[in-house]
Amino acid sequence: MATVVTAYRFALDPSPAQERALRSHAGASRFAWNWALGRCGERYAAERKWYSGAELHKLWNTAKKADPALAWWGENSKCAYQEAFRDLDRALRDFTKSRKGQRKGRRLGFPRVKKKGRCRDSFRLTGAIGCAGSTVTLPRLGAIRTHKDTGKLAARTAAGTARILSATVSRTAQRWFVSFTVAARRDSPQVHVRPGTAIGVDLGVKTLLTGVDDAGRVTAVAGSRPLSAALRRLRRASRACSRKQPGSARRRKAAARLARLHARVADVRADALHKATSALAARYETVVVEDLNVTGMISSKKLARAVSDQGFGQARRMLAYKTQRNGGTLLVADRWFPSSKLCSACGWRKPSLTLAERTFACGQCGHTDDRDVNAARNLLHLAASGADSQNACRAAVRPGNAGQAALKQEPGTAHAGQTGTATPQGTAAA
């Protein structure tokens, strides 16, 4: 039996009064962050250190009673302030770690002041949170209607197999969402129903995913028609937006439309990904995907890239918990494993491959393959070495890719009964 932390997200349908309350809470959270950032700045100037989240909470409790200008605090749940202090605490610690080189990923800047309209409207609540039917109940805000039924989560919390830890409310375009962080107990099956099966999966934009399994079967999940239509509209809206004068009313309108379309694409994509990843996790014991430097890619200017990057991270997260739920394993190839550049037949490495080249042609053995299928085959080959790596507790290297192939097991995807840590990332022996 394992406990996994998952998220449940629902679109909200608030009444006008509730919507005002949501905006007020988002404002309170922003205010608390900025207020705390100010206090931390003062202390840093004097003592070279910051306040912790708990200290900020104490300071706030004194200040809110003493300062008449803060008398409005009681209009919002006290959690909204408290959680903002916790966030700032974490941001400051992450900043310090990043500075010292103790944190992976891109370098973090110092936490900034949040300006209204310039940052995402969001806040987090803890405490008396629940859901039933088509409503969610949040502290202070009460029962808010949702667009979809929350029955599945409600049943699980009622049965005691899931517990809601917190609720993050945020606004995307004009729509409000609540995302519950849930600790769920899973009676994960010890073994997969189809032991020994494996599939390599290449994630893409137009073709959501291309897989090659151990029997050589190729599966391609094309992005659905609504997705390509939404992507087309998104591209057009993006161009239209950039043509408008910055700061103009037209620009603002175009930006709002663009944000709505982004949200729509994300929705459609998430739906399609859910279906596809559920099917994969049910059919295959081992699923191998590429590791993508998602934080590094966000800065990419190309729209298709930006959209797909969100999808990659999402697909990975879905596969991680769904494989576990089915008693399988998700293996993640090393970030530098050149899955699309290697010949899946002989292991020859193509010196360069542009995104426009849709067919892989080997310069050594003459093998040709669809680009994505070739990449998926290479990932599948890793599954074999991955099985070794799990038993031997270190990643193996596939012959022919000197110093390239290393595998890691996605944290949290260990089989039930094992510890949830990743197997040590392999030293790439040449």
Q: What is the set of active-site residues? A: 202, 290, 372
Residue 373's CB is within 10 A of a number of other CB atoms, namely 21
Query: Which of 345, 384, 416, 428 contacts Zn ion by CB under 5 A?
Result: 345
Task: Return the number of the residue (41 or 366) whose C-beta is nearest Zn ion.
Answer: 366
Residues 367 to 426 in contact with Zn ion, rule: CB under 5 A: 367
State the minimum distance, in angstroms, from the CB of residue 347 to Zn ion: 7
CB neighbour class for 91 (10 Å; exposed up to 12, middle 13-18, buried from 19): middle
How far is it, in rounded angstroms, from Cα 96 to Cα 326? Answer: 39
What string marks each residue from 299 to 338 as x (binds Zn ion by CB under 5 A) or -?
----------------------------------------
| Residue 341 binds Zn ion, judged by CB under 5 A | no
Task: Return the number of the residue (292 or 342) whose C-beta is nearest Zn ion.
Answer: 342
Find residue 137's DSSP bridge partners. Answer: 130, 143
Task: Return the number of the residue (267 or 370) whose C-beta is nearest Zn ion.
Answer: 370
Find, among 30, 37, 80, 85, the residue nearest to 58 by Cα: 85
From the list 132-140, 156-164, 354-362, 400-408, the region that binds Zn ion by CB under 5 A is 354-362
State the minimum distance, in angstroms, from the CB of residue 180 to Zn ion: 49
Buried b (16+ CB within 10 A) or exposed e, 206-224: eebbbbbbbeeeebbbebe
Structure tokens at 110: 């110092």
CB neighbour class for 245 (10 Å; exposed up to 12, middle 13-18, buried from 19): exposed
Residue type, 429: A
Task: Return the number of the residue (277 or 378) whose C-beta is nearest Zn ion.
Answer: 378
Task: Return the number of the residue (151 or 366) whose C-beta is nearest Zn ion.
Answer: 366
Q: What length does the chain have?
A: 430
* Token pair 């990332």: residue: 425
State the minimum distance, in angstroms, from the CB of residue 106 to Zn ion: 36
Query: Which of 173, 348, 388, 412 contacts Zn ion by CB under 5 A?
Result: 348
How far is it, in rounded angstroms, from Cα 333 to Cα 293? Answer: 12
Query: Which of 71, 346, 402, 429 contacts Zn ion by CB under 5 A?
Result: 346
Structure tokens at 390: 């799990």
| Residue 343 binds Zn ion, judged by CB under 5 A | yes
Task: Return the number of the residue (193 or 365) whose C-beta is nearest Zn ion.
Answer: 365
State the minimum distance, in angstroms, from the CB of residue 381 to Zn ion: 13
How far is it, in rounded angstroms, from Cα 218 to Cα 240? Answer: 39
Residue 233 CA, chain-centre distance (Å), reads 24
| Residue 265 binds Zn ion, judged by CB under 5 A | no
Q: Judge contact between 377 and 369, C-beta under 8 A.
A: yes
State the minimum distance, in angstroms, from the CB of residue 397 to Zn ion: 18
From the list 78-86, 120-128, 270-278, 344-352, the region that binds Zn ion by CB under 5 A is 344-352
- The contact set with Zn ion (CB under 5 A) reads 343, 345-346, 348, 362, 364-365, 367
